[in-house]
Structure 1
Amino acid sequence: MASTNSREWRAVCEKFRRANHLSEVESRKDPENDPFRSKYEARELLKEIYCTLKNVDAEESDGEEGETNGQPEQSGSEGGESGAGRTYPGDSRAGLRAAKLAVIEYHLGVNHTETEELSAGEEHLMNCMALLEKCTVTQENVTLFIQARNQLGILWAGRDETEKAQGFLETAESIYVQYMKEDGQPPMDLADFFVAEEDASSQQERMRRFEMAYTHTLYYLAQVYKNLEQYERAGQYCHSTLQRQLKFNQFVPLEWAINAATLSQYYITKTRYMEARHCLAAATVIAGLAGEVPSEAAAKESQAEYDKREQLRQKRAEIARCWIKYCLNLLQDARKLLEDNIGELDLDRQEELQRARRDEEEEKERGRKSAVLFDSSDTFDSICSQEEKVSCVFPLTFKEARAIFLVGQAFVGQAKEYFEMDGHVTDHIEIIQDHSALFKVLAFFEEDLERRCKMHKRRVDMLEPICKDLNAQYYLLICRQLQFELADTFYEMMSLKLAVAEKQDQPDAHIIKKFNHLCTSSIKYYDMFLDSIRSPEGKFPEVLEDDVLRPALVAKFGVARLQSKIICTNLDTQLENLNRSLECYNFIVQYCTEHPEAKKAVETELELSEEMVSLLPLKINRIKSKMVSANS
């Protein structure tokens, strides 16, 4: 096997090619009852190649003992064994043989890990690493240096040995950085060690595969940093991975789009809305590259068309949900900037922030330069066009907030088209809850009290039917969420109606009736929530679980306040309402006395409850006195 064109060498190359084909192509067709058949066949071929190389290694090592001058020959000459007939500067013939053996050890390691034989896989990969210690990092083996560490990183991450995985992957990253700094030429791919000269990869293809290996390094590091809860670094590496996949055209559109949309949610948590919007715009554009959604008729006729239709609809609906979260969080974060200490719009603060907007265009440009962009020439213009549909700066006025709200509402419609109530109960309800939250935060920006009230009425109209129809036995947590939100919404509407009534000299009977209806509706849903906590025998728990502690005490507080606000002229009814109110205030005070750890959860409510426990008996006694006087 003295020449790259010898019959023996060509046989080795053919075995290597066949092993790769079995692993990467034929294995996809293996039956369910024998899922690793092709992998096992590939393993046997790799073992045969390994034995051949070891025999040659032994023969040539014996021959080298007789060489004079003590100088190693350079491989790749007429008598060399280079897979592509090239010389290998800096590597001895022994080093080249070690690298070839390392390639086979690498493939055997991958083969064993893919067939769920992790210990054997680790052994072969470590053998590969040991063989590489005999070589320097050069164009010929830098890809192997990186890929071996990538695989060991994956293996240890799969065993939850995250820090070990981190070590291998960070070393792979540093090898890439150093190589690109010191050399940067297209390196050999692993397959190039076992090809005839005429089949050698082009310079462009070799570089593409090398960059792909490094992209995988960054992708795995992103997962490692996430598992180590180093979220900032994880986000950076995820963004770099997506950026490189676009740049080198190494992506599956739907998979890339979902990863970009997921990354946007991280940026939202950091209030980096420019980057979040860019990720979502890119996700929308790249998802479009996956093609058109097949028609329903086509999906009925072909399983393949049905599968494609469902996958496209689902992934695009998931991206729509990420857009909803973007719009909702942008509005909610703007509200935090603008609200006063009682949760209302601070007009002075609003005016101050509007004045600061005079340099907005310059700020936008600076922000654009600081944001990490996906600079793919093929899609950049489309991504920018998508971005222009929604702002990434905090809205300061109702008009600005409404523009963001409408975008979010449009995506609610898109998401609901796939996540229907029939078949996607939890997802559908979460989308409805987000829609309700969009109305809630938009109402904050509206100055007209009647219009605000109508926005909250829209929330009731979308939440109440679901709450009535949902089976609490199977969806207890969701039912509780809906009950509490409905109680809170009716409470908000009651407060708005009260503010409207206070502007009138004498509220008419219609306003009073509406006001009382809102009070009793809120009480009804608070009571439904509280009843859901009771035992099957109807007993309220002596100790509240952590997940319901604050909601339960706030619900009691809400009922207490509402019962005392109901307007009525009948003294018996007034007394009944005030007694119920006092009972709820007493419950909060007594519970926090018996369970001091609960005080922190309801500091404000507890303080007011203690005050009302002192004041309400006086009011109750006055009504009792009136009743005695009326009866005497």
Structure 2
Amino acid sequence: MANSLQLACDAYQRAVTASDIESKTDPETEPYRSKYRARELLREVRALLGPGAEEESGEGQAGSQEDDGDEGRLLAARLAVIEFRLGVNHTETEEMSAGEEHLVKGVRLLERYRLSHDCVSTYIQAQNNLGILWADRGEIIIAQTYLESAESLYCQYMKMIGKPPLDPDEHFTPEEQRLTEQERAKRFERIYTHTLYYLAQVYKHLKQDERAAQYCHTTLQRQLEYDGYNPVEWAINAATLSQYYLGKQCYMEARHCLAAANVIFAKAGQIPSSGAVKETDEAEQERLDGLRQKKAEIARCWVKYCLNLLADARKKLEDNIGELDVDLQEELKAERKKQEDEKEKGWKKAVLFGLSDVYDSILAVEEKVDWSLPLDFKEAREIFLVGQNYINEAKEYFQLDGHVTDHIEVIQDHSALFKVLAFFEEDYERRCKMHKRRVDMLEPLCKELNPQYYLLVCRQLQFEMADTYYEMMDLKVAIGNKLDEMDSHIIKKINSLAQSAIKYYEMFLDSLRSPDKKFPEKLEDDVLRPALVAKFHIARLYGKLITADGKKQLENIQISLTYYKFLVDYCANYEEAIKSVETELELSKEMVALLPARMERLRIQLSSFS
């Protein structure tokens, strides 16, 4: 018997080596050669353990684990390890049904012994793998059942026994080579961390976002604590989690995740600039390109952080016409100190990545950007500058040549940063210059992109360009109204900006036309509001054009009326559209009622001069 066990141990070790090490160098023509070799060795081990031995284990309860004595339990434990290894082997070679069969067999072998210190680890790992297998099949509820069972067993074991359990491989390891208690504990905790990681994915699939975030945060914390993680993967997961916190307006938590992502990503090593590695080293080029991409993705998460922080501050501070409410601003500044103190107290109770050697480094990154809503231009500018730095970092990788969609999204985020910063700027001329920066970055994209291939993106850019010119025109009108009399220069500027806005709104509307140039009778839901708003803004823009020519003025008012009337008539024909443009519709109805009388007065004036 001792000799058979020794042979079984030797064969098992060879199987592990073949599966975990030798398989990495298998040729492309035989990708599973070492896995198949490992499978044969595992079968040899099972045969050496004794024919029919697995039948000795039934479906008893955990409390009856002494019924068969230590020998029965150890034999069941060893057989379960082999079934577990065979199950993993089959799933790794894409034989899912066979993999499931072996994993289930391993679980059944250990059912009555699942709380014993030499069986619990194997049992939990088998359930983890069954959870993954069923998740891959799209059966998320079944996956959830296995993984929650694994979680429950871990908690039960730690409460009742707590002793670091035997690692599955130790069943086939000589006594003198077995793990220390410390290493066993670390391995067992990593297994449980995997359970939590997979549960986070399951809850995400089930749209249980809050629960998924909690499990993800705990997983990341435990990975740091037990030093079981890939720095790049960890950093991406932390950055992704930050976006959940952003959606909940939990900026302190989001910043913590992003700062941690920066610190842990740095552990992947220095990334040389593109082209610094010899082109002949394709594998290294591919690896470094992957690192640059991940770094850029983390930078984009930082951009979203800064953008959301500024945008939420704007929503809180704007009055009913979209301008800065100065009284509210002062009120919020007075309240903020008290809120920050309370937030800090609550933060210390939150899940932090603080049980590791990286905590001080994370704090250093956090100190570079605030988490509280900015309440004036100075504070907003500090956040803007952080966001702009990350924009530049993202653009290094997501360039127009090769990453069209990503590049455009980064540029749009840059434009959005300028837009929201402009809200905090009291000087209209400087605010206008910020919007000009937006035009300068967006206009080249509008000209370069082919609408045939990038229709939706082109529409987005056309509408944003139109809105930007529209806002600049409004600012110039406000500047002009403060003067005793508008000079020819400012009149020319107002007209130029208005015409540019009209041009881009019309480009957007033309993109909705059919191949025979007809405008749709009924607009699709995704373009309904933008199209009607474009019509409304064009109507208003024609009313803003300044001219001394009475006939031209009459012509502009007529065009303006036509566009207002389109919106009114459309909503009369399609009442479901009303809720999309309630404010614009109300104003359009007023203008449709007022403009004919204004036109008539102008005609009378013109006829009296002729």
Q: Same fold (TM over 0.5)?
A: yes
Query: Partners in 2 of 1:54 and 1:580 — Cα distance?
Result: 93
- 1:13 equivalent in structure 2: 9
| Residue from 114, 133, 146 that aligns with 2:111 | 133
The CA deviation at 1:277 is: 0.5
Asked whether the 8 Å contact 1:146–1:175 carries over to 2, the reply is yes
Structural mapping, 1:564-603, within 5 Å: 564-603=543-582
Query: Partners in 1 of 2:192 and 2:594 — Cα distance?
Result: 71
Q: Within the alignment, does 1:303 sit opposite 2:282 as a pair?
A: yes
Asked whether the 8 Å contact 1:264–1:279 carries over to 2, the reply is yes
Stretch moving more, 160-169 or 89-98: 89-98
- 2:100 equivalent in structure 1: 122
- 2:135 equivalent in structure 1: 157
Query: Partners in 2 of 1:90 and 1:294 — Cα distance?
Result: 61
The CA deviation at 1:275 is: 0.7
Amino acid at match of 1:32: E
Amino acid at match of 1:277: R
- 2:530 equivalent in structure 1: 551
Amino acid at match of 1:95: R
Query: Partners in 2 of 1:394 and 1:426 — Cα distance?
Result: 30
- 1:72 equivalent in structure 2: none
The CA deviation at 1:602 is: 0.9
- 1:64 equivalent in structure 2: none
The CA deviation at 1:195 is: 1.6
The CA deviation at 1:41 is: 1.6
- Equivalent residues, number: 602
Amino acid at match of 1:24: D
Structural mapping, 1:391-470, within 5 Å: 391-470=370-449
For each residue in 1:335-361, what CA deviation from the matched residue of structure 2 results, as whole angstroms up to 9, or x when unmatched? 111111111111111111111133355
Q: Within the alignment, does 1:31 sit opposite 2:27 as a pair?
A: yes
The CA deviation at 1:332 is: 0.5
Q: Within the alignment, does 1:342 sit opposite 2:326 as a pair?
A: no
The CA deviation at 1:364 is: 4.8
Asked whether the 8 Å contact 1:401–1:445 carries over to 2, the reply is yes
| Residue from 469, 476, 490 that aligns with 2:469 | 490
The CA deviation at 1:47 is: 1.8
Query: Partners in 1 of 2:350 and 2:533 — Cα distance?
Result: 42
| Identity value in percent | 62
Query: Partners in 2 of 1:19 and 1:540 — Cα distance?
Result: 69
Query: Partners in 1 of 2:276 and 2:399 — Cα distance?
Result: 19
- 2:59 equivalent in structure 1: none
Secondary structure of the residue that 1:46 maps to in structure 2?
A: helix
Cα distance change on mapping 1:461 and 1:26 into 2, 3 Å: same
Asked whether the 8 Å contact 1:571–1:623 carries over to 2, the reply is yes
Query: Partners in 2 of 1:47 and 1:300 — Cα distance?
Result: 45
Query: Partners in 1 of 2:22 and 2:119 — Cα distance?
Result: 28
Give unmatched runs, 5+ long, in structure 1. Answer: 62-74, 76-87
The CA deviation at 1:599 is: 1.1
Cα distance change on mapping 1:103 and 1:439 into 2, 3 Å: same
Runs of 4+ in 1 over 6 A off after TM superposition: none
| Residue from 265, 268, 285 that aligns with 1:290 | 268
Query: Partners in 1 of 2:280 and 2:29 — Cα distance?
Result: 29
For each residue in 1:153-210, what CA deviation from the matched residue of structure 2 results, as whole angstroms up to 9, or x when unmatched? 1111111111111111111111111111222211011101112222222222211211
Asked whether the 8 Å contact 1:98–1:134 carries over to 2, the reply is no
Query: Partners in 2 of 1:370 and 1:354 — Cα distance?
Result: 26
Structural mapping, 1:94-109, within 5 Å: 94-109=72-87
Q: Within the alignment, does 1:202 sit opposite 2:198 as a pair?
A: no
- 1:253 equivalent in structure 2: 231
Asked whether the 8 Å contact 1:416–1:428 carries over to 2, the reply is yes
- 1:231 equivalent in structure 2: 209
The CA deviation at 1:489 is: 0.7
Amino acid at match of 1:223: Q
- 2:606 equivalent in structure 1: 627
The CA deviation at 1:92 is: 3.6
- What TM-score results when the alignment is normalised by the length of structure 2? 0.95
The CA deviation at 1:280 is: 0.6
Asked whether the 8 Å contact 1:340–1:346 carries over to 2, the reply is yes
Query: Partners in 1 of 2:407 and 2:257 — Cα distance?
Result: 24
Give unmatched runs, 5+ long, in structure 2. Answer: 57-64
Asked whether the 8 Å contact 2:303–2:413 carries over to 1, the reply is yes
The CA deviation at 1:7 is: 2.7
| Residue from 38, 41, 49 that aligns with 2:45 | 49
Secondary structure of the residue that 1:289 maps to in structure 2?
A: helix
Query: Partners in 1 of 2:14 and 2:569 — Cα distance?
Result: 78
Query: Partners in 1 of 2:439 and 2:478 — Cα distance?
Result: 20
Q: Within the alignment, does 1:478 sit opposite 2:426 as a pair?
A: no
Asked whether the 8 Å contact 1:137–1:145 carries over to 2, the reply is no
Query: Partners in 2 of 1:90 and 1:322 — Cα distance?
Result: 57
Q: Within the alignment, does 1:616 sit opposite 2:598 as a pair?
A: no
